[in-house]
Amino acid sequence: MKQLLLVFIGGGTGSILRYLVGKFLNNSETGIPYGTFTANILGSLLIGIILGLAAKNENLTQDHTLLLATGFCGGFTTFSTFAYENHIFLKSGDFTSFAFYTIASFIFGFLAVFAGIYLIKFI
């Protein structure tokens, strides 16, 4: 039960922060979802750092990892919103934004995870 509560608290906190990032960064004039992109890339970097720390020196317990990686990062990042925003691009015929957003999200997301893990090697 404690583990479920940790994931719940982390997920709720991450979701609130994602909402705020989207509210302030998503551009309603151009339709470009900068907020979702930012949340997904920052979340990818953060999960790389968290899991890198957990693997490196075992200072993070399983409970810490559940709270931060599974809960917070899971709530902060969002594949469903990413997929919906791409649906909107396709529906409107904006294939350039669809391609750029999808490719950039995958490339920068993967790079952010690897960067987070790599940075931990120097701490």
Q: Is 74 annotated as a binding residue?
A: yes
Is the torsion defined by CA of 24, 30, 32, 33 positive or negative? positive
Q: Is 96 annotated as a binding residue?
A: no
> 106: closest CA among 49, 52, 37, 46?
37
Residue spans of alpha helices (H) in 26-77: 34-57, 62-65, 74-76
* Number of DSSP helices (H) and strands (E) in the chain, helices first: 6, 0
Which amino acid is residue 18, in one-letter code? R
Extract the annotated binding site for Na(+): 74, 77
Extract the annotated binding site: 74, 77
